[in-house]
Structures are given as C-alpha cells and as structure tokens.
Structure 1
Amino acid sequence: MTEEAPADNPYVRDPDTEFAPTGELSADDAREQADQLREAIRYHDYRYYVENDPVISDRAYDELFRRLEALEAAFDLDAEGSPTQRVGGEPVDELESVDLVVPLLSIDASGEVADVRAFDERVRRELGDGAAVDYVCEPKFDGLSIEIVYVEGRYERAATRGDGETGDDVTENVRTIASVPQRLRGDPPAVVVVRGEIHMPLSAFQEHNRERVERGDDPFANPRNAAAGSLRQLDPSVTAERPLDCFFYDVLWASEEVVPIGEMGPDDADDAASVGAGGVGGLDTNWDEYQRLPEWGLQVNDRHELVDDVDGAIAFRDELQAVRDDLDYEIDGTVLKVNDREQCRRLGTTSRHYRWAYAYKFPARTEETRIADIVVQVGRTGRLTPVALLDPVDVGGVTVSRASLHNQSEIAELGVDVGDVVKVERAGDVIPYVSEVVEDNAEGYFELPDSCPVCGSDVEADGPLRFCTGGLSCPAQLKRSVEHYATDSGLDIEGLGEEAAGQLVEEGLIEDSVADLYEIDAAELAELEGWGERSAEKLRAEIEASKSPSLGEFLAALGIPEVGPTMAADLAAAFGSVDALLAADEADIREVEGFGPTVAAHVAEFFGNERNRRVIERLREAGVEPEPPASTTAGDELEGLTFVFTGSLSVTRDAAQSLVERHGANATGSVSGNTDYLVVGDEPGRTKREAAETEGVPVVDEAEFADLLAEHGVGYPPE
C-alpha cells in the first residue's frame, strides 16, 4: 500500500526549484525549509526505491538535494540523520571488526532438483505429525550480505557478514547508499536488526565500467566484486560515488525496548541462529517480513512468492531462470525458506547453515553471452584497446564480464558490435577473449574512434593498432606511466596504486612525467581528499626511498615497450649504466641475447626519443641514481650454467638473477637450446614453459632451485 504524501510540504509534488539565495533567509526560515526538504527527500526515496513509482523527475530530486546541502552548510544546521549524509564521511585508517547482533550463517545449496526435494522431505520428517509446510521463495542475489541496525527508527550501524560471527564495520560507507534509509518510516520496533544484500545493478555496473575505462582505469571484473570493493573502501566518499543499491529480505532481531548494541540479540543459540524476531510486532512468518519491511521504508525485491509446497518452489525457480537475463541485477538461483518462523526455530541450524532454508541454484552461464557495450581503453604507450563489456558469463569456472577485442583488424574479422551474442574463451585459461559471433544483432562492426576518448588528440594507425598522439599530455597515458613506475614490476612505491596515481594526475600534482613525483610537497598532498599528514608523509618517504634502485629495476619502471623486469635486467647486465644505453643504437641492443629486431627497435626508439631522454635527465636531477649491476663475482661455483626465470619467486627475479651471476652463471631472458634450467615461480608465463618443453630444458620450481644451488655450495635465498 502506497503511503500518503506528507501534508502541506511544497517539495513533494511539482516542487518549485527556483530557490532564493541562502543569504536572503533568516536562520528560522532556513531551518524550516531544511526540515521540509528532508521530509520530502525521504518520501521521494521511499517512492523511488520501495514503491518503484517516483512522483518527481531525477533532475528535480537533484535540485532539492543540492538545496538541502547548501542550507545545512550555510547555516551550520545539524545534519545527523539527514539524507545529505549519503555523500560520505571522513576516511578511516582501517575497517574495524564488530560482533554481529545475530550470526549470519550460509544456506545449503544445489543445482539438482532431487536435492531440493530431499530438503523438503527432511523438513517434513523433522517437523512430523503431517505438518503443513509452505515456503517463501525469493531470488538468490549475487552481492554482499549486510546486517543493519536501526534504533528508534534511526540508522545506527552496518556490518558485513564476515565469518558469520564477526564482520567489518561499514557504517559510514553503507550510509552513502541511497536505498538504505537514514530513518525508518511508519511504526517500527524500538530496535530492529535487518539483513540485506548490497549489489551494483547491471546497468549501473556497465555504465560505471565505461566511465572507468574512458578515464584510463581498469574496469571491474563483475558486479559482485565491484560492490564488495566499493563497500570496503576506507574513504566513504569513494563509496558514495559508486552506484550501489540494497534489497532487504530478513528481520534478524527486534525489540520493543531500546538496548545497547552489545546487549542486542536473542537470548539463546536456537533463536540466534533461526528466528530472532519471532513474535515481535506480528512477524510470525517470513512472509510477514515482506509486508512489513516496505512499511518501514526498506526496499524489497518484487520477485518473491509464497508457495504451498516444494513443487511451487521448483516452478518459481524455473520461471525466474527464464527471465534471468532480463533482470537488472545478478542472481545465481533462488532461495526457499520455511514460512512459519516457529517451524524455523524447531528446525534450527547446523554449525554452518540454516536447516529451514535451501538455495536452488541456476546452471552457470557458459561461454555464450551478449556484448552490452564496447569501450576504448588508452594504455601507457597510447595504444587504444577496445574492451567488450559483457553480460556476466561463466568461462572455465570463472565469471567474467569483460573481454579484450585486441585491435581493429580482429574486430573486423569477427564482425563484432554492441548487442551481438558471442562466444567467450580464455586464452591460456587466463585472459578472456571473444572467439566468434554466435548471433549477429548489429549492422557492420565496431570501429575505433578517430580521436582519443580521453584527451581528444588525433588517433593514428600503425598496422592493425591505433595510438593516441597526445603522449603524456594525455591524462590516461601519464596516469598509467606513473602507476607502472610505482608497481612491483617497477620501483615498488607503496601507497601509489591505481587510484592514487589517477588522483595525483587529476589534481595537477603530476603534470608532465613521473619525474614530478619527486617534487610533490607533503603538505600539498595532505590537503587532497582522502589524504592526511600521516599518509602524505608516508608516501613522500616511499618516493625518497626509491631514489637508489638497481639499474634493472629502473629500466623496468620506465615502461619501455615490450621490456619487462627480466629483459630490463638483461639490458642492465649488458650495458651497465643509463649513459651506455642512451648512447647505444639498435645494432648494439640486438647484441643482447633474447633481443630480436622488434624489441631492439622499441628499445632504441625509446632511448632515442627526445622527451624520454628529458624525463630520464629530470629523474637524475631529482636524485634518482640507478645502481649498476655488481661487476665482481662471489665465486665460480655455477660457471657454465645458464638460467632463465619465470613467474613470481619469494625474492625478486632481479635478486635471483644477480645471485647466480655472482657465482659465475648466466641469467637470460628467453629459453634456448643453451639454457640449462628454467626456474618457475608462481603464475609463470606459458611461452617460456612451452619453449623449455620444445628444447628439452629441465624445469625446476623454487624449492628445487634452492636444492640445486646448495649442491653447488651456493646459499638461497640471497641475503
């Protein structure tokens, strides 16, 4: 039943958004207008999220919201519990752990109908006496479970499910979600603890991914990861920018008397694990909850149903699966819950899950899916990479919602465009890619733009590839250059990740190149959103500590095309200094083992580029002095052996290579017939392993490598 609109409130229907300047209002008039705006905005939130029937436009709503913000700021009005608190509070150093009011257990699940019937048989058997059992059926959301506490109708606390007993305190982050009311409506109990599911709607997820790609950020892998990552931000203002939503579906506990959070919760374990709110406020069944939650202003999903028996639950699941692709949120099955809460209490729980609920899962989406959008990502070198944003699909046991389309030639060959149904595979069981168009729903194929989507510079073709001509004047290229410089593959500057690099570029602290890093003022950094004196000083210290890298680490950090850490170490060993590389030509570089004509040309072009030479000079002027590789040897115990390394070791590959070289061995970047051992760490490259198999080169893991060195009298890991 739709609640009546607040009486005599001018901001409920057809509101006049032509407001007088705040300076013309008295304090009393401002307070009265703010109260009316808060009341109206709460009503509009209710109509939008709960009733799904808004009475004003989004634009009008935004105008009301901005006016309320302006009044609260201009007249220093108490904003506690105000809708404006959704904009986010102060950042925190870390999320605190809190005890949940009621344990949040899991739900036993299966995709087999026989298991669902077996669950129903067990329920009836344990209830006995021919008990009548009906079920509440609802979607099984693929989001993040949350416990929210309301005291006297006011939002008090939110915590993640965590381990079921203890979760992360995400109160300030959840406060920013518009569908989570700051104050309940109607006549709720004095204390009510509810469970909901935080999720990112699919349409919002695709749009948010498009925005991330277009500004040079990596897109999120799937909506659940996007929601979870957004909710666990240390800065609530970041969460506020993410398009999160919440469905409520369970009253965990309630009380007609106010008690401290530490004293909340049922008296015994049976109630705590099953029906904490049983009997309070007439909530005698789970179906009652679906009637009561909207009355309190809490959004419930409209696809829920009360059925008489297990056959009705199975039919509900089949019907929902048929429309799954039309929904704007991710679900992976349905949940059936015994309706009567006294029956739930009698059924109880196991140590892990409720015995009165069961999840009937959908089969995983496999391989074929629809392309929802195609966006263009600008990389560190200016290369434009088309990225297909997919309706999430299971590929090899992993849910993916994006795939690279590589280049214009591949797009044309596939004939792929937005709206097509495609087959998705994973290269080497890792990287998703579109292998074919199964259903062509568009005319022609997608074409890369003539201008950069980030900076607007002209795009030029190089064979099948397209490149932005903006160079480091393009924010995407500059940001990715800084991000790469600070990664583990570069100089490992802790605290300078993707978001921080983007912020420094966007705020103008880095305008020209990575060399600007060494001129950043800690006081200026501390004034940026999300930073403070402590975090700013810590980053400054990390930047200062990066001034004495090994030559190999420095070359890897520069981001030379086609040159990763191993090949950078090979260059360092071959040339010994930055000056030697600046003086080298392509023929000199081709003398380095493993450097063919293509890579050698990239390296020569990089060091011959006047801008790159200027950046290197600025870095050296700032005090960055790469240390040359050790020229002395510790012995000849490994003389005559050649090692190649791939994957992540417990030490840096640079350290492992230096160790064997100091004891007389060679360490190269590619496998050949002259290689004696390929040392394999975590997540190794496929190419080197295949080459080792072809050449008959022994492959050893890190432990076997250590044993091999010990046999030659060399200790590992290096000190």
Structure 2
Amino acid sequence: MSHCEESNPYLRDPPLEFEPVEALSATEAERQVELLRAAIREHDHRYYIEADPLIADRVYDLLFERLRELEAAFDLVDPDSPTQRVGGEPVDELETVQHTAPMLSIDQSGDVEAVREFDERVRRELRVEGFDPDTGYVCEPKFDGISLEAVYEDGRLVRAATRGDGREGDDVTAQARRIRSLPQRLRGEPPARLAVRGEVFMPKDGFRDLNRRRLKRGDEPFANPRNATAGTIRQLDPSVVADRPLDCFVYGLLAHDDPDRERPPTQWAELEAFEEWGFNVDARAERVDDIEAAIDYREALMADREDLNYEIDGVVIKVDDIAACEALGNTARSTRSAFAYKFPARTEVTTITDIVVQVGRTGRLTPVALLEPVQVGGVTVSRATLHNPGEIESLGVDVGDTVRVLRAGDVIPYIEEVVEDESGSTFDFPDSCPVCGSPVERDGPLAFCPGGLACESQLERAIEHYVSREGLDIEGLGPERISQLREAGLLDSLADLYRLDVDDLVELEGWGEKSAQNLVDEIDATREPPLDDFLSALSIPEVGAATAGELAAEFGSLAAFIDADPDELEAVDDVGPIVAAKIRDFFDTPENRAALDELLAAGVDPQSVDAAAAENAALDGQTFVFTGSLSVSRSDAQDLVEAHGANATGSVSGNTDYLVVGENPGQRKREDADANDVEVVDEAGFADLLVDHGIDWPPEA
C-alpha cells in the first residue's frame, strides 16, 4: 500500500458523519472524491480479489453513496469512478473490434497418452531450436467460462472484447467495467500499454442465487454458469451486468508495450506481475518441473473439483519459458506450447420417476425428468432437463426408463441416453399448457404456450416488463414488490395495476402512506400512454421500442393496429413475415385479447398518433443511426429525432440517411455506412443539421 493510501482516512475506521454537500467548496469536494475513489478501489480489491475486507459492507455502502452524492452535486462523474460500475447507458448493439493479438485456442484431450505425446513433441522441437528440452510447465485450472481480452493504457481500462473468432470479438467494454474483480485502474507500475487474456465466469454460489431470483420472478433459469456468463457479458444494458455475480481470472499476456519495462520472461513471472498490477489470479496455479508432475497436478485438481466455487473442465499445461513458447510457434488456430488435459464427463445411471412440463416466461415449455436420487460428481441429482419435445422424441424416453445422467457443470443435469427402455414407450408431450390450458404450439423441436398474458407462469414477467423502462416506466414496482402484490391477491392481471389503491397497499409490510400514494400516482400517470410506448409494454413477441414506434406511426391508433392483416403489417419497415405472423398470433389469441380489453376497460386509453403532425414534422422520413458517445445519451438523441418525425434505428442499411458518430465509435457501423453510401456526420455536423430544421441541440433535460 502506497504512502498516499496509508494516509487515506476512508481505508480503516473511516469517518461516517460527513459535512453537508452544500458546505463544501469545489476544491474540497474534488479532494474528497479523489480519496473516496482511491479507498473504494482498495476496498474492492481487498473484497473481490484478496477476500480480506477492511470494513463492513454497511460502511462500504455509506462511502459509496457519499461518493455518488458528491459526483452528482459537483458534476465530477468520471468513467473510471467506482460508481460507474453499477449503471450505464444501454448500447444498441455490440460492435466488432480486432484483438491486439490473436486469441488462439489450444489442443485438448482426456487421454493421458495424448498429454505425454504433447510433451515429447515439445521437447523434440525445443531441442531443434536450441532450447533446454527439460523446460518446466505452468499448470492452471481450465475455467469453464468466457474468454475476454482487456486492454489498458497508462493503467486505465480502455477496451474489453470477447474472443469471437480469435481475431475479432464483440466490444464489451461497458459490460466488463461492471465486473468487480476486473480493475478499471491498475496498481503498481504496469506497462504503458497492456493487453491481457482472462476468463469471465460466474461463481457457483452466485449462479444458484441468480437462478433462485429468476425462478421467483417467473423467468426461466439459466442452464449452467457458462450460459449465464455468456448471456450476461453480451447484455446490451450494462446495469444488468452490474446486477449479476460475474468474476474474472486473468492468466495470459497478449500485448506488452513499454520502452522502460521488459515483458516478464516466463509464464510464472507473468502471473506474479498480474497480481502486482491488481488482477485476480487463481491461487491454484502451480509451476512444475516435468509432464508427470503436470499429470499429478491434474489428478489432484480433479479430486478437489467439487469443492471449488467455480466450474472447471480440466487443466491447462503451458511451457513456462516465453522465448521457448515463441520458438514453438502456433498453427492457424492454436498454440503449440500449451495443451488442455480434460476431465472425464460426470455421468451416472438412474431411473426416471416422473416427467413434468414447466412453462417459462416466454411461454416455452420445458420438460424436466424427476429421478431416483443419484450421486453425480459428488452432487445429489434428483431431476434433469429434457430440453424440449424434440429431445424427448430423439431419446425415446419415458417414465420408468433407466437413463444415463450427465452433469457438465453446476447445472440442472440432462439425460444423455436411455440405458434400459423399461417403459417401452415415449413420453406423450401434452397438447395443452399445464398451467393455463392453452393449446400447445410447436416450432420445430420446441413447444410454446400461446396463453400470453392470461397464463399465470408468463403473467408476472409480463407485468415486470409493462412497468419497466422498456414499457411504461412506472417507478416503485420492482420484481420483489410485484411478487408481494401477487401473493396478496392484488395483482392478478395487468389491469389490476389500475385498481390498486392506497388503503390496500398500506396494509402490506414495507409500505407507508407516502410510498403507496407515489405508486398510485405513477400508475395513474400512465392511463393515457403514447401508442408506441403501450405497444412496447404489451410484451408482443418481436415488438421492441423501435418496432413499436414504427407500427404506431404507420397505423396511428390501437384499433387500426389490432385489425391490421399480415400484408399491412409487412409493409412497415423492419416487419417481415415472421414478425407479422407473431403480431397477428398475439392479437388473435382470445386470452390476449381478453387481457387487452380488460386494460382498456380499466381506463387505459393509448393516445393515437397525430398523422397531420407527423406529416409536418421537420425530419419526416429521415432515418438516423447513432454510434459512439455523444454529449447526451444516445437514447435522448434518438428520442429527439423521433419526436420530429425521423426514425432512429440500431443498424445501418440502405435506408439510413445519416450515421451520427460520437467518441469511440463502433467500426462496424462506419463500414456499413461506407458500403451503403450513407452520409457520416460528427456531433457538430449533426447539431448544424438540426439547426437547419429549427431544432435545438442538445435537447433540454
């Protein structure tokens, strides 16, 4: 810890009685912000990497809130601030970026003889290249997560990307900033430019907690931590990433550029340097002298596998000497200096006692096999997913069959094969939803309940979406409160939102007169929503905010939209045959129409689009795409042009009129603009264009 850190009052026994914000000068506020940021970064490192916190969680929360308060009051928000880990503007899409160096794969096998053959080849080729053939190895767990490149300049995180095809990956910088164990600013004396490779993963305990919360909300659980990690790191809304328990181990150096500092000479020295710079490095890594010791390492790690709080599926064995690694070289897709010694799959045989069908939030029906309890990889397994009706038909499985269960991770295990066909039959998948009775619809191997808003299993999530920012933006109704209201019998339909009253709410735990009145007022304010917001809020399949806006502009009123035939729907930009069919199916389903009619009867009156006003809009017929950071959020920029008759879309096409480019723009959109001869303007040019149409920039807050 540096002298500056030692003198920081917010590290140990911090004062928690702060001066009023209004009593501070700008200079005093800046100094306090600087100290709070340094302290919180140290506390994050102690908590998430060293597992040795200096202060209690409650104290940390108070320091964090003080920092956020000062940043807001004195306009001191900085992208590197710890407060920026917990929010962020959603992005339209993930841009493609080129890696600083190829992120290669490695050869792998679960056969010990393949490992010894790897060692023989390494020693033979090193001898030819003039290196000591008896070089040592570094052994590490093979993490079952998502590979990530993180690039730092002058110690600051400037970019993060998924592995992709090894040469290019998705830019997930905004998402990676929300991973607490991945430092935004490095410690010590890192090189001027540094790119590292790590593995993003979700700890087992965090995964279980996340799935419990999803099930409580009516969402489908993630199948395993890797799927949860992949789905999270690619979220377009960084705040979702901040709310999920991602972690990251760093294990490889992709680029090291500094005239004053040499690259570490060995893999082991790299790991030590990573720790000095503040990265999370797995303590299970070891340096061994020969391949037999590496094989022993794998056996010992496999024995401890179930005790780890993260999923691994083998070990990685790497030649330690970096110069020797470079001499060994690479193939087109993999490095010759490393090998993955995989673990065997975890399987056991047991009997199916029943098969139940669960209904997810999208209406997807998932069959789950209930099993005679069996130990698989040290864990008692009593149920396994059968995925979908197509999987059942492929396996030919039914109640009473003896099956092989595979557990490849901390997952709901799945059926690998039928060992004994005791039933002599295949499970008869239901023709109707087990929850609401709606006739089941098939889409290839999948099955869906079309009950929509009338299906209890889908309703709670539909309510959450209706009140969310993507819907009608009703504050004060998060998932926990929605669950509370449903358990109390106050929220059995979307229309019940408009029947809530203060007297009923104050009877519930955690509600006061003020909070109850605020919620009722918030809901009342949405009784006359703009048509596009209302359509977006209804959870119509494939209809998000942009499509809802185009539909509202095209049809003008809810009545006209509801009665539109597929050909009329397909005439709308971005609405093809599949989307048109899903819209028609949604409104042709009696249960959905009944739920909609109930909303209208409860006093909800979506406001029709004024066709004349739209016709006279200053930007009528023009289409804008935004990329990079502007002086205001991109959503505000999109709202502004749409308010004046333009379309704001997320991707560049031949129909795009302008690509507006801010700071750190995505390369893909610029390339698409060049390919489609779309005019590219920076923010200043965009402002001039708006002024020419009588529109002020930036928009008022």
**TM-score normalised to structure 1 length:** 0.58
Following superposition, the deviation at residue 334 of structure 1 comes to 0.7
Following superposition, the deviation at residue 330 of structure 1 comes to 1.2
List aligned pairs for 1:601-640, cutoff 5 A: 614=598
Match of 2:291 in 1: 310
Task: Please state whether the residue corresponding to 1:68 is helix, strand or coil.
Answer: helix
Q: Distance in 2 between matches of 1:610 and 1:164?
A: 51
Match of 2:530 in 1: 521
Q: Is the CA contact (8 Å cut-off) linking 1:367 and 1:425 kept in structure 2?
A: no
Q: Distance in 1 between matches of 2:149 and 2:374?
A: 47
Select which of 131, 154, 160 maps to 1:158: 160
* Segment of structure 1 superposing worse, 327-336 or 90-99: 90-99
Q: Is the CA contact (8 Å cut-off) linking 2:196 and 2:253 kept in structure 1?
A: yes
Q: Distance in 2 between matches of 1:221 and 1:539?
A: 35
Q: Is the CA contact (8 Å cut-off) linking 1:482 and 1:513 kept in structure 2?
A: no
Q: Distance in 2 between matches of 1:497 and 1:355?
A: 54
Q: Distance in 2 between matches of 1:425 and 1:475?
A: 22
Match of 2:84 in 1: 85
Select which of 536, 543, 548 maps to 2:563: 548
List aligned pairs for 1:68-79, cutoff 5 A: 68-79=67-78
Q: Distance in 1 between matches of 2:89 and 2:398?
A: 40
Following superposition, the deviation at residue 618 of structure 1 comes to 8.8
* Segment of structure 1 superposing worse, 81-90 or 426-435: 426-435
Match of 1:25 in 2: 24
List aligned pairs for 1:218-367, cutoff 5 A: 218-257=220-259, 281-367=262-348
AA aligned opposite 1:195: R
Following superposition, the deviation at residue 315 of structure 1 comes to 0.9
Distance 1:527 1:241, change over 3 A: farther
> Deviations for 1:145-168, whole angstroms, at most 9, x for unmatched residues?
111111111111111111111111
How many residue pairs match? The answer is: 491
> Deviations for 1:285-336, whole angstroms, at most 9, x for unmatched residues?
0000111101001111111000001111111111111111111111111100
Match of 1:537 in 2: 549
* 2:511 aligned with 1:512: no
Q: Distance in 2 between matches of 1:380 and 1:95?
A: 25
> Deviations for 1:332-360, whole angstroms, at most 9, x for unmatched residues?
11100000000000000000100000001
Q: Is the CA contact (8 Å cut-off) linking 2:217 and 2:460 kept in structure 1?
A: no
Distance 1:532 1:45, change over 3 A: same
> Deviations for 1:37-91, whole angstroms, at most 9, x for unmatched residues?
1111111122223322222222222221121111101111142321112123222
Q: Distance in 2 between matches of 1:614 and 1:34?
A: 51
> Deviations for 1:216-241, whole angstroms, at most 9, x for unmatched residues?
22211211111111111222222222
AA aligned opposite 2:122: V
Unaligned runs of 5+ in 2: 351-356, 405-433, 437-451, 483-490, 499-522, 538-542, 567-580, 609-701
Task: Please state whether the residue corresponding to 2:147 is helix, strand or coil.
Answer: strand
Following superposition, the deviation at residue 17 of structure 1 comes to 2.6
Following superposition, the deviation at residue 16 of structure 1 comes to 2.6
Match of 2:109 in 1: 110
* 2:50 aligned with 1:51: yes
The share of aligned pairs that are identical, in percent, is 48
Q: Is the CA contact (8 Å cut-off) linking 1:192 and 1:254 kept in structure 2?
A: yes
Task: Please state whether the residue corresponding to 2:31 is helix, strand or coil.
Answer: helix
Q: Is the CA contact (8 Å cut-off) linking 2:217 and 2:461 kept in structure 1?
A: no
Q: Distance in 2 between matches of 1:27 and 1:526?
A: 46
Unaligned runs of 5+ in 1: 259-279, 370-375, 386-401, 439-464, 485-495, 552-565, 582-602, 625-719
Distance 1:539 1:217, change over 3 A: farther
Task: Please state whether the residue corresponding to 2:169 is helix, strand or coil.
Answer: strand
Following superposition, the deviation at residue 511 of structure 1 comes to 3.8
Task: Please state whether the residue corresponding to 1:182 is helix, strand or coil.
Answer: coil
Distance 1:86 1:614, change over 3 A: closer
Following superposition, the deviation at residue 382 of structure 1 comes to 12
Match of 1:66 in 2: 65
Q: Distance in 2 between matches of 1:301 and 1:5?
A: 28
Q: Distance in 2 between matches of 1:415 and 1:536?
A: 49
Bigger radius of gyration, 1 or 2?
A: 1
Match of 1:430 in 2: 391
Q: Is the CA contact (8 Å cut-off) linking 2:349 and 2:403 kept in structure 1?
A: no
Match of 2:98 in 1: 99
Q: Is the CA contact (8 Å cut-off) linking 2:144 and 2:312 kept in structure 1?
A: yes
Distance 1:304 1:512, change over 3 A: same
Q: Is the CA contact (8 Å cut-off) linking 1:140 and 1:359 kept in structure 2?
A: yes
> Deviations for 1:410-465, whole angstroms, at most 9, x for unmatched residues?
79x9899xx84436363767379998999xxxxxxxxxxxxxxxxxxxxxxxxxx9
Q: Distance in 1 between matches of 2:232 and 2:549?
A: 26
Distance 1:434 1:185, change over 3 A: farther
Task: Please state whether the residue corresponding to 2:190 is helix, strand or coil.
Answer: coil
Q: Is the CA contact (8 Å cut-off) linking 1:5 and 1:43 kept in structure 2?
A: no
> Deviations for 1:244-296, whole angstroms, at most 9, x for unmatched residues?
111111111111159xxxxxxxxxxxxxxxxxxxxx53500000011110100
Q: Distance in 2 between matches of 1:434 and 1:291?
A: 54
Distance 1:615 1:49, change over 3 A: closer
Q: Is the CA contact (8 Å cut-off) linking 2:361 and 2:457 kept in structure 1?
A: yes
Task: Please state whether the residue corresponding to 1:35 is helix, strand or coil.
Answer: helix
Following superposition, the deviation at residue 546 of structure 1 comes to 5.1
AA aligned opposite 1:194: V
Q: Distance in 1 between matches of 2:150 and 2:218?
A: 35
Select which of 188, 212, 215 maps to 2:214: 212
Task: Please state whether the residue corresponding to 1:512 is helix, strand or coil.
Answer: helix
Q: Distance in 2 between matches of 1:80 and 1:612?
A: 43
Task: Please state whether the residue corresponding to 2:262 is helix, strand or coil.
Answer: helix
Q: Is the CA contact (8 Å cut-off) linking 1:215 and 1:476 kept in structure 2?
A: no
Q: Distance in 2 between matches of 1:10 and 1:527?
A: 49
Q: Distance in 2 between matches of 1:286 and 1:540?
A: 59
Q: Distance in 1 between matches of 2:362 and 2:168?
A: 45
Q: Distance in 2 between matches of 1:323 and 1:133?
A: 27
Distance 1:248 1:611, change over 3 A: closer
Task: Please state whether the residue corresponding to 1:176 is helix, strand or coil.
Answer: coil
Distance 1:360 1:540, change over 3 A: farther
Q: RMSD over aligned Cα, in angstroms?
A: 5.3
Q: Is the CA contact (8 Å cut-off) linking 1:547 and 1:623 kept in structure 2?
A: no
